[in-house]
Amino acid sequence: QSALTQPASVSGSPGQSITFSCTGTSSDVGTYNLVSWYQHHPGKAPKLIIYEVTQRPSGVSNRFSGSRSGNTASLTISGLQAEDEADYYCCSYAGGSSAIFGGGTKLTVL
Amino acid sequence: EVQLLESGGDLVQPGGSLRLSCAASGFTFRDHAMTWVRQAPGKGLEWVSLIHAAGSGTFYVGSVKGRFTISRDNSKNMVYLQMNSLRVEDTAVYYCAKDRKVTGAGNDFDVWGRGTMVTVSS
């Protein structure tokens, strides 16, 4: 099973909105409402920022939002801030108590 | 405070074995499935293995099936990953992660440790 497809890098200026894509298949992203997104600052523990496609855990800024269309999920960060610079990973339930991650997108805040 | 702390990472030769441990605290451990996720140097996250809350179900990514074994001790709030027949490509930081939902089984992971490094090299 191949990793979900994410762009390797994106960049944006403070205050801008930026959207990350995550493309899977009808066996994962397209079937299950179980897409999650993680923010990962290198050397630290990954942080859950979106679950079940659109839901935000308590304590996560409402600048982060998720959506899905067909086999592609998206994460949008609005009002980009310097501390948002990190790696972002999508993940989908893939059936049989397994999960599959994307390759990750490195966000650079200019 | 909800916390996961991994240990056991080391430098090991190809073909060798290693056991990783993950100590959980701050939540009802026996209610949650637990997962191991790894990140090879310069690569993305990869789901490796999951164990159901009661330990009754275990699941693996294809590349480790037959070589890795996940287990847990709910009396000690511990989850383990026994890794045998290690390969160079198993080199990675290994993270322990908690399923968010009480009834979850690999849906999403709301608590992560900081990882432990496994290096497989001769």
- Which pLDDT value is given to residue A104? 96
Query: How does pLDDT run across A39-86, given as a tens digit for each residue?
Result: 999 889 999 999 999 999 999 999 999 999 999 999 999 999 999 999
- Which pLDDT value is given to residue B12? 98
Contact flag B108-A51 (C-beta cutoff 8 Å):
yes
Q: Check whether A101 has a pLDDT greater than 80.
A: yes
With a cut of 50, which residues of chain B have pLDDT below it? none
A104 touching B, CB under 8 A? yes
**Residue A52 backbone class (left: φ over 0; alpha: ψ -120 to 50; beta: rest):** left
Distance in Å, alpha carbon of A6 to nearest chain B alpha carbon: 10
Contact flag B57-A102 (C-beta cutoff 8 Å):
no
Query: How does pLDDT run across B90-112, given as a tens digit for each residue?
Result: 999 999 999 998 877 778 999 99
- Which pLDDT value is given to residue B56? 87
